[in-house]
Copies of this chain bind each other. A is one copy, B any other.
Amino acid sequence: MEKIRRNERMSVMMKILSGTPGRMFTLNRFCELFGAAKSTISEDLDALRRVAGSFDLGEIETVTGAAGGVLYRPLRSRESSLAYISDLCRELSGSERVLPGDFLYYSDILSTPEIVNRMGEILATEFAEKKTDFVLTMETKGIPVAFATANALGIPLVIARHSSKVYEGSAVNINYVSGSGNIETMSLSRRAVKENQRALIVDDFLRGGGTARGMVDLMREFNVSVEGMAFVMSTLTPEKKRISGEKSLMTLEVVSGEVPEAIVRPAKWLEA
């Protein structure tokens, strides 16, 4: 095999590590891939760590010991996250996206991969220290951002459904009060989670918090602790939600009038 240069080794490791966040790779694996000594790989990784830091590309973490190795976390600086969300808020504000009933159309934003991935990285940065085992969302619109957050954390996504399906096996069902005041059902396959796991709830929208409350109750049925709750957008009213301690990326206020206007702002915690 032709000798592989440092710039090639570093580029390949950057691609492999950043392509599977949270996954641990042994140094031996890279030694074999490149036919290089462990000391060489260690030096490469030191250089990669520095360059990822100086260009705000996330963190490359080396874990020592027998079960050790190296892994990548797509953690973003607060400054760049705020700038990104602020741009998004400008795009969503105004009258064009307001629908009858003062709803805001932003389904397109919620399924554009580049935007959704960035939102997932911002949420992952905020909740990385909670060491959660999976991300939970309730179908449908929050699934892409919940998936992106799970991807950034390197953990699975779990999707609660409106009703239990035959192809999910036995399920736990609970009832909850939806935003429109109706009693609805939320269902999750028994196989989907294990007792004593730690959950991060991610969804697209928070108004009264009925659905979120339902997810919290559902997790209690599984003896799973909820370590965090994150939303893409939450409304300013009602101020009092059925849950507390959540973090949203943006807040929404719709000002009524002949032409209703949406005012979308970055959440306060992003400015801290």
- Quick one: which of B15, B103, B112, B113 contacts A57, CB cutoff 8 A? B15
Q: Is A101 an interface residue (CB 8 A)?
A: yes
**Residues of B close to A81: CB separation below 8 A:** none
Q: How far is the CB of A97 from chain B (nearest CB, A)?
A: 9
Copies in the complex: 2
A143 within 8 A of partner (CB): yes
State which of A82-90, A154-162, A214-222, A258-266 sits at the interface with chain B. A154-162
A224 within 8 A of B: no
A228 to B231, CA, bound (A): 33
Partner of A143, one of B11, B140, B156, B166: B140
CA distance A192 to B33 in the complex (A): 44
Interface residues of A in 137-183 (CB under 8 A from B): 139-141, 143-144, 147-148, 150-151, 154-159, 161, 166-169
Task: Please report the total number of A residues contacting B with Cβ < 8 Å.
Answer: 59
Most buried by B among A5, A103, A150, A167: A167
**Contact call A189/B14, Cβ cutoff below 8 A:** no
A47 an interface residue at 8 Å Cβ cutoff?
A: yes
Contact: A167 with B103, CB < 8 Å?
Answer: yes
Please tell me which one of the listed residues B12, B57, B116, B159 contacts residue A55 in the complex, with CB atoms under 8 A apart: B12
